[in-house]
Structure 1
Amino acid sequence: MSEVLQKAKLAKAASIQMNRVSTADKNEALLRMADHLITSQLSIIQANQLDLDNGRKNGTSSSLLDRLALNEKRVAEIAEGLRQIAQLTDPVGTLLQTIDRPNGIRIEQLRVPLGVIGMIYEARPNVTVDAAGLCLKTGNAVVLRGGSAALHTNKRIVEVLHEALESSALPKDAVQLIEDADRKSVDEMLKLNGWLDVVIPRGGASLIQNVVQNATVPVIETGAGICHTYIDQGANPEMATAIALNAKVQRPSVCNAMETLLIHQDYDQAAVTELLKAFHDAQVELRGCERTLQLAPYAKQATEQDYATEYNDYILNIRFVSNLDEALAHISRYGTKHSECIVTERSSEAERFLQEVDAAAVYHNASTRFTDGFEFGFGAEIGISTQKLHARGPMGLVPLTSTKYRVTGQGQIRS
């Protein structure tokens, strides 16, 4: 029996046990997990250092190394995410509606766990904890398959989580980690109908497309983030500069970072010059249209491929547009339906943008970096869904549940 099937079976059995645990039991387990992460942070960081050393030897980019890296601050943030999840309302068992039929039958619709969730993700070990916490809170079991770049880190994290679960009312088998780094383990997960109830990919475009195109298990698609900020001619220059810089340089390696800046051709010329200089001073490589090259001789000519690329790095496309319609057309063509922003003081332009842009999150005068489960008040997130079925945007607790109808009668039969 393969490792994947063996651990999926363990998770399936644990998911049945999870139906019997109380909200109090789940919350206590989450708090124990958070405490164990803090007390075990040294060993976690040491394991993480092995992955970082291997990454540097293999020529991993600085942006990917940033995604992978853990330190005391990041471990503390991950643990805090678990504590916040414990404080959130448990959606499982929520009564959504009651229908009393003329024949005396009562129909109740309730929230229930999805069952066993398969998580396939890349070099972000925080996802290991976020996914485990969110799944356990919603009564699910989870099978984790992280990227090989974070294998040492993920193994140690799951060992710590298991240590915490052993002293709780929850089955430790509800959290499983696939250690086989071969791509065949991913391919096997995608076909585990009957053992996995849903698969959620989280990572780059190639990973997501492989899962979407090859899975027979139902998929919740999380998308790549080619995010845009549009500075309208009616933008406040100080605000526009702050938002644009934050969207790109605060943490460029994440999916909600801006990849293309669109600027109205009549926007304040002096503000544009200062903004381009600020990006240059922040070591951001600029790729732009002809006007961009005129204003910033250090910029490179942007290509069609550039506009369609999620860099996750200190690289930014800049394009000047004649009006909102041109900005909307660009976003429609190159966007990935993730997060899009307009900076403007003109309410009419803002309303059109918010109404017409097809994305999971649309912003007016705020950075796209806020598309995040923690920032949305979800405690953590299992991913950012860019699809339209079942869940969209940062996925906290509710998207990890389904519903069932509980029907109560007094002997009624259908004629």
Structure 2
Amino acid sequence: MSSVMKKAKAAKSAKEQLALLSREEKDDALEAMATALTKEASWILAENEKDMQAGRENGLSEALLDRLALTKERIHSIAEGVREVKKLPDPIGDTVRTWERPNGIQIEEVRVPLGVIGMIYEARPNVTADASALCLKSGNPVLLRGSSSAFQTNKAIVDVLHRALDETKLPSLALQLVEDTSREAAHEMLHLTEDLDVIIPRGGASLIQHVVKNASVPVLETGVGNCHVYIDESADDRMGVQIAVNAKTDRPSVCNACETVLIHRDWADQYAASLVEELKAKGVAIRGDDYMQAHFDGITPAETNDWHEEYLNLTVAIRTVPSLNDAIRHIQTYGTGHSEAIVTEETGAADEFMARIDAAALYHNASTRFTDGNEFGFGAEIGISTQKMHVRGPMGLEALTASKYLVRGNGQIKE
């Protein structure tokens, strides 16, 4: 039996015990996890530095290094994220609906855990803690497989969480980390249909598509973020600039960062200079259409692939459009269904934008950076789904549940 299969079976062995824990018992475990993360921050940082050094030597991009890097502040934020999950209502056992049939049978739909979750993700150590908290709170054992670039950090975090769980009623077996970082090990996870109930990939397009195309285990797909901000002709000038700059630069390496800014020509004629100035001041490289190239210096010509690109760095594509309809058509053509924003003072334009664009999150006069489990009040997220089967958008506790029907009668038989 391979090490991956052993880990999966160990997680599965805790399935029933975990599902029967009370909210108080699970919350006590999460509090212990959060406390341990803060207490062991120095050791986690030392292990993270090993990964960072290896990443620099191996030529990891700045975007990936940013995702990989931890600081005391980030560890504190991760611990607080665990506590936020702790504060949330426990969905397990909640009644979704009840009804009675004409024959007197009473039916109740209740929430139950999805089962054993396999998580395959790239260089984001915070995902290790977020996924652990969300899965355990929702009664799901979890088998984690992070990237080799974050192995030392992920192992340290899981070791800390295991020691914390050993002092609680929540079985530490319910949290497992695959320590074989080979591609073969990740591929094996995709076919553990006897032990895993669902696979969740979180990372770049190539990882997600590999899992979707090759898995025998059902996949809960997270999505790539080619996100747009459209600045309409009626947009307030400062609001348009601030939202576009924030969406691009607040943290460019994440999936809810803006990759393309669309600007109505009339707004561009008056205010695009301010936008370009502020983007350049933040170190953003701009790839623009003919209008942008003609009006501003230092604009790289945008190619067709730029409209498709998820840069995940300080690069943005800018296109000017003659109408709201053209902006919508552009997003319908190139968007990935993640997060799209319109900046406008016209309610009708915002309503049309939101009605016609099909995406997990749509914004009127706000940055796409809010597509996040914590920002939505979910405490954390296990990923952001851009598919429509099961769930869509930031996936919190309820997204990690299924339902079952409790049917009660008094002797009814089918005739």
Q: Same fold (TM over 0.5)?
A: yes
Distance in 1 (alpha carbons) for counterparts of 2:52 and 2:366: 33
Distance in 2 (alpha carbons) for counterparts of 1:62 and 1:88: 35
1:17 aligns with 2:10: no
1:260 aligns with 2:260: yes
**1:12-38 deviations in Å (ceiling 9; x for gaps):** 111111122100000000000000000
The corresponding residue for 1:282 is 282
**1:281-323 deviations in Å (ceiling 9; x for gaps):** 2111110101111122201111111111101000000000110
Flag structure 2 segments of 5+ consecutive residues without an equivalent.
Answer: none
The corresponding residue for 1:187 is 187
Further displaced range: 366-375 or 302-311 = 302-311
CA contact (8 A) 1:229 1:340 kept: yes
Distance in 2 (alpha carbons) for counterparts of 1:154 and 1:403: 32
Q: Please state whether the residue corresponding to 1:180 is helix, strand or coil.
A: coil
1:240 counterpart letter in structure 2: G
Further displaced range: 275-284 or 254-263 = 275-284
Alignment of 1:46-65 (within 5 A): 46-65=46-65
The corresponding residue for 1:168 is 168
The corresponding residue for 2:292 is 292
> How high is the TM-score relative to the length of structure 2?
0.99
Distance in 2 (alpha carbons) for counterparts of 1:327 and 1:268: 14
Distance in 1 (alpha carbons) for counterparts of 2:104 and 2:364: 50
Flag structure 1 segments of 5+ consecutive residues without an equivalent.
Answer: none
1:358 aligns with 2:358: yes
CA contact (8 A) 2:268 2:320 kept: no
**Seq. identity, %:** 54
Further displaced range: 63-72 or 290-299 = 290-299
The corresponding residue for 1:388 is 388
TM-aligned CA deviation for residue 411 of structure 1: 3.2
TM-aligned CA deviation for residue 250 of structure 1: 0.7
Alignment of 1:183-222 (within 5 A): 183-222=183-222
**1:147-170 deviations in Å (ceiling 9; x for gaps):** 111000000000000001100111
CA contact (8 A) 2:66 2:253 kept: yes
TM-aligned CA deviation for residue 268 of structure 1: 4.9
Q: Please state whether the residue corresponding to 2:14 is helix, strand or coil.
A: helix
Distance in 2 (alpha carbons) for counterparts of 1:355 and 1:241: 24
1:136 aligns with 2:166: no
Further displaced range: 138-147 or 11-20 = 11-20
Distance in 2 (alpha carbons) for counterparts of 1:78 and 1:409: 47
Q: Please state whether the residue corresponding to 1:225 is helix, strand or coil.
A: coil
TM-aligned CA deviation for residue 76 of structure 1: 0.3
The corresponding residue for 2:334 is 334
Q: Please state whether the residue corresponding to 1:243 is helix, strand or coil.
A: helix
1:85 counterpart letter in structure 2: V
Distance in 2 (alpha carbons) for counterparts of 1:350 and 1:312: 27
**1:190-222 deviations in Å (ceiling 9; x for gaps):** 111121111111100000000111111111111
Distance in 2 (alpha carbons) for counterparts of 1:11 and 1:392: 26
CA contact (8 A) 1:237 1:268 kept: no
Q: Please state whether the residue corresponding to 1:267 is helix, strand or coil.
A: helix
1:42 aligns with 2:47: no
Distance in 2 (alpha carbons) for counterparts of 1:411 and 1:167: 46
Distance in 1 (alpha carbons) for counterparts of 2:83 and 2:395: 17
1:32 aligns with 2:32: yes
TM-aligned CA deviation for residue 184 of structure 1: 1.1
TM-aligned CA deviation for residue 99 of structure 1: 2.2
Q: Please state whether the residue corresponding to 1:109 is helix, strand or coil.
A: strand
The corresponding residue for 2:177 is 177
* RMSD (Å) for aligned C-alpha atoms: 0.9
1:336 counterpart letter in structure 2: T
> How high is the TM-score relative to the length of structure 1?
0.99
Distance in 1 (alpha carbons) for counterparts of 2:372 and 2:363: 13
TM-aligned CA deviation for residue 43 of structure 1: 0.5
Distance in 1 (alpha carbons) for counterparts of 2:360 and 2:16: 33
Distance in 2 (alpha carbons) for counterparts of 1:305 and 1:354: 25
